[in-house]
């Protein structure tokens, strides 16, 4: 339980639900929010410590989503960053069930959608982790060709989540992504369509002005590929 006015200072929190402040029992809402978040944080931490994903992960992730819906981002920036790192680390687990994968994408979308709360200097997301999931979803979304068919919900959760993750890719991510798919850029090869799919998903397009030289301007070098092909044909 939280005691003392200093510990219940909303100024230290990310973005509480502003409408709760106008309720006549706001003091009790504050205490309840702190207590609920402490409980959620404790159980999510135990999941990692005990390595027991099932059933606690889905239960307490659902409670976290309900908590944010009711109280807003009623936690500190440090806790906000820890929650993001937590769900990214869960995505790196081998043989993770698709249900838990979808939970991670849904929570990451919620935690990252307020980009003004966390700057690029405070968080870096490895694009290769999301690329691995993009490949799996790309390979298994077609029922006629895949061995394990992913539900539409997993794919949609991923597509909803990825735009918020791109903002936190490293400043070298654009060049790394272009280098990764450069061998695929033959217009007469079926891999070309896959490269365009991954470019559309992964390339950061909302970089700040001071990073544009490491953003979309890196793609200008790729124009030489097509110019050289045109000159050869002529």
CA 185 to the chain's CA centroid: 27
Please report, for the chain, the start and end positions of each structural domain, with discontinuous segments joined by +. Answer: 172-234
Mean pLDDT of 181-205: 85
pLDDT range class, residue 3, cuts 50, 70, 90? very low
Residue 234 has pLDDT above 50, yes or no: no
Among 207, 196, 128, residue whose Cα is nearest residue 167: 207
Helix axes 127-140, 152-166, angle to 10 degrees: 150
Which residues touch 21 (CB under 8 Å, ≥6 apart)? Answer: none
Q: What is the pairing mode between strands 72-73 and 15-16?
A: antiparallel
Q: Over the stretch 31-88, which tens digit does the pLDDT of each residue have?
A: 999 999 999 999 999 988 887 888 889 999 999 999 999 999 999 999 999 999 999 9
Tokens of residue 225, six digits: 């590929």
CB 2 within 8 A of CB 35: yes
The confidence score (pLDDT) of residue 117 equals 95
Rounded to two decimals, what is the model's pTM?
A: 0.84
Tell me the longest C-alpha to C-alpha distance in the chain.
78
Q: Is 70 exceeded by the pLDDT of residue 218?
A: no
């Amino acid at each position: 339980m939280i005691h003392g006015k200093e510990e219940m200072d909303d100024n230290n929190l990310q973005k509480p639900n502003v409408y709760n402040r106008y309720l006549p029992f706001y003091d009790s809402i504050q205490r309840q929010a702190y207590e609920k978040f402490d409980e959620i944080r404790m159980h999510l931490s135990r999941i990692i410590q005990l390595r027991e994903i099932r059933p606690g992960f889905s239960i307490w992730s659902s409670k976290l989503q309900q908590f944010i819906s009711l109280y807003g981002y009623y936690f500190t920036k440090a806790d906000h960053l820890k929650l993001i790192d937590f769900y990214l680390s869960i995505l790196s687990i081998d043989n993770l069930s698709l249900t838990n994968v979808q939970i991670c994408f849904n929570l990451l979308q919620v935690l990252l959608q307020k980009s003004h709360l966390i700057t690029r200097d405070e968080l870096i997301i490895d694009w290769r982790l999301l690329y691995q999931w993009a490949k799996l979803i790309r390979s298994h979304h077609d029922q006629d060709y895949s061995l394990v068919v992913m539900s539409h919900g997993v794919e949609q959760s991923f597509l909803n989540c990825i735009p918020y993750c791109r903002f936190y890719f490293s400043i070298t991510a654009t060049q790394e992504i272009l280098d990764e798919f450069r061998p695929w850029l033959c217009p007469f090869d079926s891999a070309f369509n896959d490269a365009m799919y991954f470019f559309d998903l992964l390339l950061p397009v909302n970089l700040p002005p001071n990073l544009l030289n490491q953003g979309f301007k890196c793609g200008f070098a790729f124009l030489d590929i097509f110019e050289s092909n045109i000159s050869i044909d002529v």
